[in-house]
Amino acid sequence: MIRGVRGAITIDNNTEEDIVHSTKVLLEEMINENELKPEFVSHIWFTTTSDIDAAFPAKATRLFDGWQWVPVMCAQEINVSNSIPLCIRIMLTAELDTAQEDVQHIYLREAKQLRPDLELTKKK
């Protein structure tokens, strides 16, 4: 079954180092928690709030062995008043043998407030 796996993380600074490192942290947890293999990933969408422009977060994907063939794309989130600043979001689409309610969506740092209800689905 094709499933979407969501994740989000905030960064401290709009620098290439912070963007790539933080995205790697998020993506690594998404991969590990959902036992994702690159050959079963259709594509990954990365979005950022408008205050992030020092690097493409998708660059972090290339830091994982075997993930160089996964199509990635970056875009900017819509600008919503009072939204969380310096936030990177991921929508990863993959073939998973997991029930929808068992998919582990990962929200880290200040991004946890985007989906506090998902804490109930966390295995940890």
Residues that are catalytic: 6, 62, 74, 77, 89, 107, 115
Pair of tokens at residue 8: 């989000």
Pair of tokens at residue 108: 């880290």
Q: Is 85 annotated as a binding residue?
A: no
Q: Is 107 annotated as a binding residue?
A: yes
Q: Are residues 21 and 10 in contact, defined by beta-carbon separation less than 8 angstroms?
A: no
Place of tokens 């068992």: 102
Q: Is 109 annotated as a binding residue?
A: no
Annotated binding site: 6, 89, 107
Annotated binding site for prephenate: 6, 89, 107
